[in-house]
Each structure stands twice: as C-alpha cells, then as structure tokens.
Structure 1
Amino acid sequence: MIAHEPPDKPLIGILWMLATTLCFVLVNIIVHALGEGVPAAQSAFVRFLWGLVFFAPALVRILRRSYPGKVWALFGLRGMFHALAVGLWFFAMARTPIADVTAINYLNPIVVTVGGALLFGEGLAWRRISAVIVALIGAVIILRPGMRAIEPGHVAQLGAALFFGGAYLAAKRLTDFVPASTVVAMMTLVVTAALAPVALWQWQPISLSEVLWLGAVAIFATGGHYCMTRAFAAAPVTVTQPVIFLQLVWAALSGWAFFDERPDPFVLLGGAIIIAAVSYMTWREAQVKKRAITPPAPATKI
C-alpha cells in the first residue's frame, strides 16, 4: 500500500491558521462586548440557532439516513458535552478578560490527551505526562490561587475546557463511523436542542442588533473552523500549531484596545507555557507516527 504524500505547503498552512486565529478573536470580541445583558444559555442558543440555519440543507439529508444506535448515542453525547462547554464559555467570556479565557482554553488538548489515554487506551508515555504537568503549571500561573481572587468566569472556563475536551473525544470516535461534516452538522442540531430549555427558562428580551451580532459570531466561528481545516490540509500540524499562540496575543491586544483590559504578564506567561507543552506534545506525536509509517532502510531498496 502506497502512503499518500504529506501536505507540504507550510506558508499556506501558516496563513490559513493566522486567519483562524483572527476569526476566533473576532468571536471573542463580539461575545465580550455583548456582555451580561443576555443570559449565557440564551446567547449560546441564538448563536447555534443561526448555525442550524446554515446546516439545514445538510441536516435534511443526514436525518433521512439510518445509523446504528451507537452512532446516535455518540451524537447525543457529543452534543451534550458541547452544549455544556459553550454555555460555560459564553458565561466566562461575558465576565472575564478576553486573554484569561483564551489562555485557559488552551487546556483543551491536555484534556483530550488524558481522556484519550483513559478511554481509548492511547497510553501516557512519560513525555505526555511531562507535557500535561507543564501545562497544568501554566494554568496555575494564569489563575494564581491565593495571589488574586478566582472569579466565577475563571471557574466556568475551566469547566468549558473540560467539556470541550469531552466533546472532542466523542467527535473523534464519531469520525470512525461518519464524515466530519456530518459530525459538525449533528453537533449543531443537538446543541441547539439541548440549550433550548435552559434558554427559554432564562429568556430575556433581546434586541435585533444582538441577534444579528450573534449571527456574526456564528459566521466567524464557522469561518474559523473552515480556515483551520484548510490549514491542516496544507501543512503538518507541527507547522501550524505554534501559530495558535497568536490568538492569545490578539486576545490581549483586543482586550486592551477595546475594553481597557491591560495585558496581564502572568496570563501571557501561563498561556505561553501551556502552548509550549501542547506544541511539544504535537511534535512528538508527529515524530512517532512518522517512524511508524516509514519503512526500514533496507525495505526502501526493494
């Protein structure tokens, strides 16, 4: 069996990942600007309701298909995890400095790594364990318990990182059975349905401009995921992963420029430590996979 050539367009991949960071920072700015005027669950529900409109044509086709019960269960599990994560993220972003939320969000890959080892038997080699420990040290530096007050937004974002990690693990298992586009479309449907009861219970009057801004959130979030997909298709993850650090830079600068949130050096340091740990872990995974698929020297001469 002949292996496919890996993507080798590093500059294109970096540019796509740069666009990814800008899209997600625009999402952060809009949600942060909307603030606490609309309850978190209601904001998240309206955002995903827009996404449901975007995915409606695909969902009509998907729902006509028959899937095993296990797949439907995974759709539901992934959607519930993501709904909890999104609700907590909206809560945190409305109340906490943008840079803090962005930095804590980098813990997602750590949750995925630990969850993959515990649930999928992927193993925790000492290098992975070291990266997890270093990332947790970065999180402690960001939060600095005992040195400053831990706000509800910080706690909510830690919960969001945990549930986003769980949602990713469920999505990872789903890709064994259905295409990625189906996973995303069904996630949008389940999240919207899961958020609906809480949103209706907490419902407050919402202006047309707020609805339209949440529509912009849906557009930029979708654009960010699209750009990320293009980045991964153009270049190895080891090339594009470090660019993610710029999202923290943009977050700190936008918080300072638009909301008078002066950059906290401890948040930037902690975020950089987490990103370094994640980048190292990504690089090591790529090296292991490369060795696994590269034939031994004698075999290349046959």
Structure 2
Amino acid sequence: MTQQNNQLGIMLMILTTFIFAMQDGLSRHLAGNYSVFMVVMIRYWFFAAFVIAIAVRKAGGVRAAAATQHPFLQSFRGLLLAFEICVMVTGFVLLGLVESHAVFVAYPLLVAALSGPILGETVGWRRWLAIGTGFVGVLIILKPGMGVFSPYALIPLLASLMFALYGLLTRYVARFDSSATSFFWTGVTGAVAMTAIGVWFWEPMSLPDWGWMIALCFTGAAGHYTLIKVYEVAEASAVQPFAYLQLVFASLVGIFVFGESIEANVAIGAAIVLAAGLFTFWRAHLAQKRASLL
C-alpha cells in the first residue's frame, strides 16, 4: 500500500466522519419530532435498497451476497446494529450530540476489553491499563454519585456496548464471510426488523421534514459508500485513528445548530477516553505487526 493511497484514505475517512456527523444531526432533529422507530425504519429502507443495489452489480448478484456460513450470527449482527442506532438516536434527543458522542467514543475500549473472551485474542497489561484509564474518563463524563448525574447518560454507554459487540461479531464472521456478505445482511436484516416495529409508530410527517428525511437517507448511503472506499484504498491502521473526528464534528453540530454546550467534565473525560482509545489501537497495531513477522 503506498503512502499516497493512505493519504487518500485519510481524506476519505475525514469526509466519512463529517457525513456521519451530519447524519447524527439530522437524526436528532427528526427523532425530536417523530418516533425514533419510524425515523430509523425509513432510514433502513433506503439502506437496504442501497446494499441490494450494490449486490446486484457484483458477480453472482444477490444470491452470492446473501450466501453465508453463519446466517444466525449475521442476522443477530444486523439486529444489534439496528437497535444500537435506535438507542443512540434516543440519546441524541435526551442528552444532545456532545455528551452522547463523548460517552459513545468509549466503544473501542469495550472492543479491546471483550476481544479476549469473544475472539480469543490476548490483551496485554498495557492495553488493560489503557482500558481502565479510559473508563475513568467515562466516569468523569457521567459524574456518578453527584447530584447532577442523569440516568439518561447511560443510554449512549449502552449504545457503545452494543456497537462494540457488533464490531467484534463483524470481525468474527469475517473469518468465514466476505465484507460484501456482512454488508448485505446488515442492511436487509435491519430493514426487516425495523419495519416490523416501525410501522406501528407511523405518523404524518411535514413536507419540510420529508426533505430532511431524504437528506438523512442520502447521508447514510454516502457515509457507508465512502467508508467502503476508505478500506479499499488504505490500510486500516493508517485511517482508523481519524474515525475519532466524528466526536469533533458531531460536537460542532450540537453546539452551533442545537445550541448545546460542552461542560468541563465532558471535555476532560472525552480527552482521556480519546487518548486511551488511541493508545489501545496503537498497541493492537504493534501486536498485529509482530504476529505478521512470525
């Protein structure tokens, strides 16, 4: 992989995080006025159409994309991501973008902590120390035991745990299925599940909000498309740290669009979590490099 390709991948990752931050802002606006289940359902209709359109263009078509050795795990992954999105969007409405993302950014630490029992990977003491430090940062954000603590702050933490589990299961099924297959099952399973729930929460939407809904659907498809391109042109180790920029972009949307503010404890805690996450990623990258040399 050339440095030029990695530079392109970094630029695409920055664009991807920006698109996803815009998507989060749109989700917060719509879910503040309509049912979260309905908003996510419509978003998944577009997502499913997107992944099916991609599958049709590939060799073997939909049949090849749907072929999997682990249909139960692939279905569970799709359900997990769909419900994680519902939980996270609920957090956007109740807490705002800034605090929700400050807590959610802990998911790489949860991935590292759970990679041992789920994937059988070895986690050294340095990474365990980073994981513990990161969760100190989360506690600083949440401020448990203090009068201002809100139980709503646990919502993005639950979303973070769900997304970490989704990421670990994605890594596990990647041992058997292609990324195209996992992508297909993610979109289709999520659409089926959200339709089964969301139709019961249907309510009329104003014409301007339908415009925002269409924008939400397009940003979702665009974000997934650019993310696919990121990993096609660059090494994961070069681009993954830049995924944290979604916290920055989403916070800016929260501040300038929704009038949110950044409390001192949130800024300090998020900085600790970010530093711990980057260190954890760096140690995992070193371990992977050593294993490849053996």
Q: Which residue of 1 aligns with 2:106?
A: 107
Q: Tell me whether 1:33 sits opposite 2:32 in the alignment.
A: no
Residue 38 (structure 2) aligned to one of 26, 35, 42 = 42
Instruction: Say which is worse superposed, 59-68 or 139-148, in terms of deviation.
Output: 59-68
Deviations 1:231-290 (A, max 9, x none): 445444444344334322222222221111122232222222112111111111221222
Residues 55, 185 of structure 1: 8 Å contact kept: yes
Q: Using the alignment, how far apart are the partners of 1:66 and 1:182 within structure 2?
A: 6
Residues 10, 239 of structure 2: 8 Å contact kept: yes
Change (3 A) 1:67 1:53: closer
Q: Which residue of 1 aligns with 2:131?
A: 132
Amino acid at match of 2:283: R
Amino acid at match of 2:75: G
Q: Using the alignment, how far apart are the partners of 2:151 and 2:121 within structure 1?
A: 35
SS at match of 1:122: coil
Q: Which residue of 2 aligns with 1:206?
A: 205
Q: Using the alignment, how far apart are the partners of 1:292 and 1:65 within structure 2?
A: 31
Change (3 A) 1:294 1:165: same
The 5-angstrom pairing of residues 63-212 of structure 1 reads 63=63, 67=67, 70-147=69-146, 148-152=148-152, 154-212=153-211
Q: Using the alignment, how far apart are the partners of 1:209 and 1:103 within structure 2?
A: 30
Instruction: Say which is worse superposed, 268-277 or 207-216, in terms of deviation.
Output: 207-216
SS at match of 1:184: helix
Percent of aligned pairs with the same amino acid: 25
Deviations 1:5-38 (A, max 9, x none): x442343333222212211111111112224211
Q: Using the alignment, how far apart are the partners of 1:128 and 1:245 within structure 2?
A: 18
Change (3 A) 1:90 1:131: same
Q: Tell me whether 1:273 sits opposite 2:272 in the alignment.
A: yes
- Alpha-carbon deviation of 1:181? 2.0
- Alpha-carbon deviation of 1:226? 3.3
- Alpha-carbon deviation of 1:188? 0.8
Q: Which residue of 1 aligns with 2:255?
A: 256
Q: Which residue of 2 aligns with 1:221?
A: 220
Q: Tell me whether 1:18 sits opposite 2:14 in the alignment.
A: yes
- Alpha-carbon deviation of 1:63? 3.9
Q: Using the alignment, how far apart are the partners of 1:90 and 1:66 within structure 2?
A: 28
Residue 51 (structure 2) aligned to one of 35, 55, 59 = 55
Q: Using the alignment, how far apart are the partners of 1:98 and 1:228 within structure 2?
A: 21
Deviations 1:195-230 (A, max 9, x none): 122212222222344344233223223333333344
Amino acid at match of 1:62: V
Instruction: Say which is worse superposed, 284-293 or 244-253, in terms of deviation.
Output: 244-253
* RMSD over equivalenced CA pairs, Å: 2.3
Deviations 1:39-83 (A, max 9, x none): 111111111111122223345633467746x52111211112112
Q: Using the alignment, how far apart are the partners of 1:270 and 1:235 within structure 2?
A: 31
Residue 8 (structure 1) aligned to one of 3, 11, 35 = 3
Residues 65, 181 of structure 2: 8 Å contact kept: no
Change (3 A) 1:175 1:102: same
Residues 50, 215 of structure 1: 8 Å contact kept: no
Given the two structures, how large is their TM-score scaled by the length of structure 1?
0.86
Q: Which runs of 5 or more residues in structure 2 are unaligned?
A: none
- Alpha-carbon deviation of 1:101? 1.4
Deviations 1:89-139 (A, max 9, x none): 121112222111112221222222222211121122112211211111111
